[in-house]
Amino acid sequence: MKFFKDASKREHQNWNKAVSAGFYILLLLLFVNTLMYSYSGAELVLSSSMFWTGIVVTFGYQFILNRKSEKNE
């Protein structure tokens, strides 16, 4: 019994793009947070905020890419 349909090749490609974008956003936030902590001793971004930002960017970007793919087909 399947609850979800299988992802197409294009959806897999979009997922890979979205995961890499989310990863780079998290790296950027972590870098900014580390610089801020080293200069002022206070964190600029909470770790929970970083986590949710990465999740939102990844799934949001995947959603946008999938919609663009459907529109072009």
| Coil/strand/helix, residue 61 | helix
The span from the CA of 30 to the CA of 28, in Å, is 5
Q: Which residues of the chain fall below pLDDT 70?
A: 1
> Residue 1: its pLDDT value, please?
65
Find where tokens 């950027």 sit. 28
- What is the model's pTM? 0.80
Is 34:50 a contact under the CB 8 Å cutoff?
no
> In this predicted structure, what is the pLDDT of residue 58?
93
pLDDT at 17: 93
Cα 51 to chain centroid distance, Å, stands at 9
pLDDT for res 26: 93
